A and B are shown apart, each in its own frame.
Chain A
């Protein structure tokens, strides 16, 4: 009688059908994608001497090059700051419009989110290539690229924050007949300001990283020199650029992390 109450494993559980199924699917996908990408483990090891040669040449940085790249490095940071700011300014109205607790019009909200989703699918370098074609080679193309890239990212982060706010102050102001703008200014903004600044800094970090390679396609900043040094096979200079970039990124990350900790 007790045996009848024992949980019985179904046929699928007993033979681990799900586990084997997933494993088989993964193996098939792995085989398929290695066929498609011509992965050849042997080739990597037979060409290892070339790769080692590259590493050796990169491990002798030509430090003199540092004086050349300081100005473009500064330009890179300036591009990131401006791009993030422009993106944020445009993101705020879109974020307010996409927040479910502020805008009750489902169609408007859905359309807004669709636009934001579409913007976020575009990789930054791809945008850079297009804007270089429009604005010509230089930092303007970089700033616009970063602005659009941060617009997509910030508006999503912002509307998710707005959706978590306490609705009490809003209802109080609504009940005394305040206008939408007044409500946003006095009831919404004070609740979200710190998180906004924190996400702004986070996006700035990402944009500093992104802006260091945008120049590879001509969109200004340190990337221009990266491309030049690689094309001239001047790997010592490449190493200096990479090291300097890493230092700058780490400094910006450190400052931003500190500020965000103070804020939240």
Chain B
């Protein structure tokens, strides 16, 4: 916009002088529209007492739920959540590699038909809501953590494929050229140069995606796809706030542990 307007100086200075006002009006209009459009249900009469019992439940968690050996307790379900996230991320990382090479731009390509189409496919996968995927897989394989694994593994392709393809675009081509100049064929180039060069970045992104997958695996259960989300939604619906408290505590501890573990591993990689 600036380059376009630099041809006629007076107009530019006018725009320069008043553009803050234009932005202010635009932002004000957006906010009036946003606030006016929403119907505020306001506080329910029970909101006060519900909040009080929630706080009470959070302060006095149901410690007996942590482990009772039934396989339906907090520890078992947290482990199941981690298993869903782990398996989903690994599967998705494997599927993402071909997607990434599909979507990665290369100098040889003239019209960017291949990489462009790959990028569009990855964007569509990324935008497709994970919850809907979970519900679709529940119809296919029944409720349970298997549906959660499938949902995580398909949904993560969108983001991992994008990160992987960017890693491929920015990688150092030196090793590849060395193998080519020594007379290597393309499978050899791939196995001996391409893969070793980008592997640390791939692993680092996979670990990062695992952190996100842990969070989504803990809510997929709310629609019936296994993990800690299922008892959570039951506890909220039955207003069992001490149970909600202990599950929240479990999720917080799990996420903090996984995040710091993954961060340590990623620091050692790069």
Q: Are the CB atoms of B127 and A246 closer together than 8 Å?
A: yes
Q: Which residues of B contact A122 (CB under 8 A)?
A: 248, 251-252
Q: Which residues of B contact A56 (CB under 8 A)?
A: none
For the complex, what is the distance from the CA of A81 to the CA of B35, rounded to whole Å? 9
B25 within 8 A of A: no
List CB contacts (< 8 Å) of A135-161 with chain B. 135-140, 143
List CB contacts (< 8 Å) of B208-234 with chain A. 215-216, 218-219, 222-223, 226, 229, 232-233
- Among the listed A33, A118, A129, A133, which residue makes an inter-chain contact with B50, where contact means beta carbons less than 8 Å apart? A133
Q: Which residues of A contact B141 (CB under 8 A)?
A: 40, 43-44, 47
For the complex, what is the distance from the CA of A34 to the CA of B31, rounded to whole Å? 48
For the complex, what is the distance from the CA of A30 to the CA of B83, rounded to whole Å? 8
Q: Are the CB atoms of B86 and A29 closer together than 8 Å?
A: yes
Q: Are the CB atoms of B44 and A136 closer together than 8 Å?
A: yes
Q: Which residues of A contact B239 (CB under 8 A)?
A: 133
B48: nearest chain-A partner, CB-CB: A134
Q: Are the CB atoms of B38 and A51 closer together than 8 Å?
A: no
A12 within 8 A of B: no
B30 within 8 A of A: yes
B12 within 8 A of A: no
For the complex, what is the distance from the CA of A237 to the CA of B106, rounded to whole Å? 40
Q: Which residues of A contact B43 (CB under 8 A)?
A: 135
Q: Are the CB atoms of B132 and A250 closer together than 8 Å?
A: no
What is the total number of residues of chain A having a CB less than 8 Å from a CB of chain B?
59
Per-residue B-contact encoding for A63-88, CB less than 8 Å = 1, 0 else = 00000000000110111011001000
Q: Which residues of B contact A43 (CB under 8 A)?
A: 141, 146
What is the total number of residues of chain B having a CB less than 8 Å from a CB of chain A?
65
Main secondary structure of the interface of A (DSSP, over half): helix
A117: nearest chain-B partner, CB-CB: B256
A173 within 8 A of B: no
- Among the listed B41, B148, B236, which residue makes an inter-chain contact with A136, where contact means beta carbons less than 8 Å apart? B41
A81: nearest chain-B partner, CB-CB: B34
B136: nearest chain-A partner, CB-CB: A54
Q: Are the CB atoms of B38 and A39 closer together than 8 Å?
A: no
Q: Which residues of B contact A40 (CB under 8 A)?
A: 141, 146
Q: Are the CB atoms of A123 and B140 closer together than 8 Å?
A: no
- Among the listed A32, A124, A130, which residue makes an inter-chain contact with B236, where contact means beta carbons less than 8 Å apart? A130
For the complex, what is the distance from the CA of A122 to the CA of B229, rounded to whole Å? 12
Q: Are the CB atoms of A242 and B132 closer together than 8 Å?
A: yes
Q: Are the CB atoms of A121 and B131 closer together than 8 Å?
A: no
A74: nearest chain-B partner, CB-CB: B37
CB distance from A164 to the nearest CB of B (A): 19
Q: Which residues of A contact B219 (CB under 8 A)?
A: 123-126
B42: nearest chain-A partner, CB-CB: A140
Q: Which residues of B contact A36 (CB under 8 A)?
A: 79-80, 83, 145
Q: A38-B146, A81-B30, A135-B47 are in contact. List 16 more A-B contacts (CB 8 A).
A: A33-B82, A37-B84, A37-B148, A39-B87, A43-B146, A51-B140, A54-B139, A75-B37, A78-B34, A78-B37, A82-B34, A117-B256, A130-B236, A213-B129, A230-B132, A242-B132
Q: List 26 A-B contacts (CB under 8 A).
A: A37-B80, A37-B146, A37-B226, A38-B144, A38-B145, A39-B149, A51-B136, A51-B137, A78-B38, A121-B252, A122-B248, A126-B248, A129-B233, A134-B51, A135-B44, A135-B47, A136-B47, A137-B41, A140-B42, A212-B129, A213-B129, A216-B131, A217-B233, A245-B127, A249-B127, A262-B1
